[in-house]
Copies of this chain bind each other. A is one copy, B any other.
Amino acid sequence: MALTAIALNATLKSSGGEPSSTDRMLDLIAAALQKEGVETETIRLADHNVKPGVTSDEGAGDAWPAIRKLILDADILILGTPIWVGQPSSVVKRALERMDAFLEEKDDQGRMVSYGKVAAVAVVGNEDGAHHVSAELYQAINDVGFTIAANAVAYWVGGAMGSTNFVDLDEVPEVVTTSVEMLARNTAHLAKLLKQNEYPGE
C-alpha cells in the first residue's frame, strides 16, 4: 500500500536565503519515510500567504485552502519547527490555528476530516526547548484529530545557551539518526493500519 506524507516547514525564513535547519531535519525524515514506502512533499510555510484566522478559508489571497488540501490528501503530517525563546515558531502556531477548523468538519459519525491521519514532529534549535515544542504540537494536533505513533518526535538542540545551527553540523549525530528512523518506522506502520482500518465513529 502506497502512503504519502506532507511536511510543513515552519521556519521563519522564506526560501532562497540561508539554509534552514528545519529543512535538514525534514529531509532526513523524508528519506527515512521513503525507506518505509512513503513519499513526502515538503511545503515551506513562510513562502505562502497563510492568513491569520481559525477557518479553513480566510478569503482572497489566502494560501491555506491549497495547503489544507495537501494535508487532507496525505496519510501522514510532519510538523517541522525551529525553537525560538524555547517555544514553537509563530509560523507553526498559525498552521495549528487554521487546523482548529477541523473541530467542526466532521462526517455524520462525528469523525473529523483529519481522522485516521498520523502526525509526527521535527524540532531544531540552537538550544533548549524541544520537549516543550513537541508537547504543544502533540496536544494541538491531537485535539484536531490526528493520531500519534510511539516516539513521534525527532529533534536536535545544542547545549545550554548554545549558538550552533543543526544545518551547520558536519555530521548528523547518531542519536538523531536513530530517532528519525524510529519516527519513520512507527509513523508509517500506524498510518498503514489506520488507512486499512478506519476509526469506527459514533
Contacts and interface: CB of A to CB of B under 8 A. Distances in A.
Interface in A99-158: 100, 110, 112, 114-116, 127-132, 134-136, 138-140, 142-153, 155-158
B93 A90 contact: yes
Contact of A151 (B94, B128, B145): B145
Interface in A64-114: 84-91, 93-94, 96-97, 100, 110, 112, 114
A167 to B, nearest CB: 15
B84 A150 contact: no
Interface of A is mostly: mixed
A145 to B, nearest CB: 5
**In the A-B complex, the 8 residue pairs with the closest CB atoms:** A86-B131, A135-B139, A132-B132, A90-B93, A90-B94, A148-B148, A12-B52, A138-B138
A131 B138 contact: no
Nearest to A162: B159
Contacts of A146: 150
